[in-house]
Amino acid sequence: MRTTRRRLLGTIVAAGGALLASCGGGGTTPTPAVPTATPASGGAATPTPGSLPTPTPVSQRAATPTAAAARRTIKIGLLVQLTGVYAALGQEHVRATQLLLDWREGKLGGFPVELLVEDEGQSVEDGLNKALKLVQRDRVDILAGILKSTVLYAVRDIVHEAGLPLIGTTAGPHRLIFDPQLKSPYIWRTSYANGQLNYPMGEYAYSTLGYRRVVVMATDHAGGREHASGFMKRFRELGGEIVGELYAPLDTVDFAPYFQQLGGYTADAVWAWFAGADALRFVTQWEDFGLKGQIPLIGSGWVTDEPVLPEMGEAAEGIVTSFHYSPFVQTVEMQNFVSAFRQRHDAWPGVTAYNGYIFARVLEEALSRLDGDYSRDAFLRALGSLDFQGPTGRYRMDPETQGPILTVFIRRVQRVQQEYGNVVVASFPDVPDRVART
């Protein structure tokens, strides 16, 4: 098994990805307390292809206009990673967004939607050029997507000066959210702020798991550090101690030198943030190095994301993570989504698939709130007023930070029949992105 894993590491790169560098920052403000974790309900059937209901479209909101007057087509420019080591993530995103469009027969909120997909590319310049094409030549009504925070920063001035709505669906850099010099009224997010997803794990690790001393390990770019900052902030607020921080370069092949350093710390657990091929190498080498079973491993949901989880296999079993998504969330809408995605693509949807789906749902909800035809200002007002029941429960926007207030799930990797999955064991409802502010 281990030999097979190592042999496949070179090819699995194309099946995973990571959020690239983003800049942290922003002033300190009082942080709202995260609600106490809610234990996952017991006895619910885990979603498997045979147990899920036949996928059916979620019913359209009653507010969807029924007037006979035809609405003009809304052009959505979707900028996602379609080539290189992160290609699988962009493909997942497009497939999930298209899934909802197919269910709605090409309309969202009563408006025909045209999806124009472009490759974010391998560099910031690639992403910037494709964004310029969508904005200036294709004249899209809304720009969306973007995996890499560096690209989101680069595109910021283009959309701000054009007054064009941009919806970030994966990247969540803190400075674009909290720095008043960079914040734009036209840039919104349907995903998260980087630290938002990890703040509740700080509480779960301290209050439920009983940890008091933790070592942090993460990718050494600003994105990895921002994700880590959310966990460390809450853990320290409750009295926990971060006894060490170890940061490895992106695309680290051998984690042994970092594992050796762990011997210099007395810790109750290790918290980690790695993604894609880095996550696969980290988790499998963690087992190979003999650390599995010796010290608990917790972390971000990127560590055990669905695209890399099958190859991790038993090495990942027992890892506890926090994320805004799990395919094992027990709602009818989530089960319909997971079942339909698996039937089409023969794979569990990962987080970027969910990000693509919830982006389309947010579009649907916002467009359904418009009276008359589309206008930019009416659409932005509708985004700020969103509050609806989505696939993970209540989903609402904070009109000030222009990002979602989320349910964050605590998941544990467990065997589900012949596979491993991120099964929900607790949840933190109503987590604001403001908790990521440092």
- Residue 70's alpha-carbon distances to 6, 110, 256, in angstroms, are 56, 9, 62
Residues 303 and 316 placed together within one structural domain of the fold: yes
pLDDT higher than 60, residue 50:
no
- Tokens 């990890």: give the residue: 198
Domain limits for position 144? 74-194+330-406
Q: Token pair of 265, please?
A: 């710390």
Are the CB atoms for 221 and 250 separated by under 8 Å?
yes
| Residues 299 and 202 both lie in one domain | yes
Q: How many CB atoms lie within 10 A of CB 251?
A: 13
Task: Tell me how far apart the alpha carbons of residues 195 and 202 are, in angstroms, rounded to a whole number.
Answer: 11
Q: Which helix (H) or strand (E) holds 320?
A: strand 320-323
For residue 181, the one-letter residue type is Q
Regarding whether 134 and 86 lie in a shared domain, the answer is yes
Q: Are 181 and 232 found together in one domain?
A: no
Domain shared by 286 and 412, yes or no: yes
385 φ, ψ (degrees, to nearest 5): -100, 5
pLDDT digits (tens, 9 = 90+) for 313-347: 999 999 999 999 999 999 999 999 999 999 999 99
Q: Does 158 reside within a domain? A: yes
Q: For the chain, how many structural domains are there in total?
A: 2
Mark whether 270 and 136 lie in a shared domain. no
pLDDT tier, 123 (very low <50, low <70, confident <90, very high otherwise): confident
Helix (H, G, I), strand (E, B) or coil at 71: coil
Lowest mean pLDDT among 6-15, 78-87, 243-252: 6-15
- Integer Cα distance of 212 and 329 in angstroms: 29
Residue 52 included in any domain: no
Mean of all residue pLDDT scores within the chain: 85
* 46 confidence band (pLDDT: 50, 70, 90): very low
228 and 242 both lie in a single domain: yes
**pLDDT, position 171:** 83
Residue corresponding to tokens 């982006």: 359
Question: Percent of the chain scored above 70 by pLDDT?
Answer: 84
| Separation CA 282–CA 290 (nearest Å) | 12
Q: Can you give the CATH number for the domain in which 123 is found?
A: 3.40.50.2300
**Regarding beta strands 213-219 and 320-323, do their DSSP bridges make them parallel or antiparallel, or are they unpaired?**
unpaired
Mean pLDDT computed over 17-39: 40
- pLDDT tops 90 at residue 14: no
Residue 140 and residue 287 in one domain: no
- Shared domain for 317 and 370, answered yes or no, is no
Mean pLDDT of 13-31: 36
How many angstroms separate the CA atoms of 432 and 298, rounded?
22
Q: Residue 340: what pLDDT?
A: 96
Same domain, 204 and 132: no
Whether 163 and 224 share a structural domain: no
Domain annotation covers residue 218: yes
What stretches of 29-108 show up as alpha helix (H) in DSSP? 87-103
User: Would you say residue 58 lies in a domain?
Assistant: no
User: Residue 59: inside a domain, yes or no?
Assistant: no
pLDDT for residue 294: 94
Q: 145 in the Ramachandran plot: left (φ > 0), alpha (ψ -120 to 50) or beta?
A: left
Give the whole-angstrom CA distance, residue 304 versus residue 351.
Answer: 10
Distance CA 274, CA 18 (A): 7
Predicted confidence band of residue 40 (pLDDT cuts 50, 70, 90): low
Q: Please report whether residue 33 resides in a domain.
A: no
What pLDDT, in 10s, does the model give residues 366-394?
Answer: 999 998 899 999 999 999 999 999 999 99
Say yes or no to pLDDT of 57 above 80. no
The confidence band for 69, taking pLDDT boundaries of 50, 70 and 90, is low
The DSSP-derived string for 326-371 is -TT---HHHHHHHHHHHHHHSS---HHHHHHHHHHHHHHHHHHT-S
Residue 157 and residue 181 in contact, taking contact as beta carbons nearer than 8 Å: no
What is the identity of the amino acid at 161? E
pLDDT at 21: 36
The answer, yes or no, to whether residue 437 has pLDDT greater than 90, is: no
Residues 330-357: b if buried by 16+ CB within 10 A, e if exposed: eeebbbbbbbbbbeeeebbbbbbbbbbb
Q: Does residue 103 lie in a domain region?
A: yes
Q: Supply the pLDDT for residue 438.
A: 74
DSSP state of 289: T
Q: State the DSSP string of 153-196.
A: HHHHHHHHHHT--EEESS---HHHHH-TTT--TTEEESS--GGG
- pLDDT the model gives residue 39: 53
pLDDT in tens, 72-121: 999 999 999 898 767 788 899 999 999 999 999 999 999 999 999 999 98
H/E element, 321: strand 320-323
- Give the model confidence (pLDDT) of 126-152 as tens digits: 999 999 999 999 999 999 999 888 888
What is the pLDDT averaged over residues 240-252? 95
Say which residue the tokens 């720095």 belong to. 179
- For residue 313, tell me if it sits in a domain: yes
Task: Give kind and range of the element (H or E) at residue 282.
Answer: helix 276-288
**87: which 2 tokens?**
């290609």
Q: CA 27, 28, 33, 34 torsion: positive or negative?
A: positive
At 174 the pLDDT is 85
Helix/strand/coil for 288: helix
Q: Are residues 290 and 415 in the same domain?
A: yes
Its sign, for the CA torsion 233, 236, 240, 242, is positive
* This prediction's pTM: 0.83
**Band of residue 9 on the pLDDT scale cut at 50, 70, 90:** very low
Q: 403-416 and 393-398 as β-strands: parallel, antiparallel, unpaired?
A: antiparallel
**Is residue 35 predicted with pLDDT exceeding 60?**
no
Closest C-alpha among 429, 438, 19 to residue 221: 19
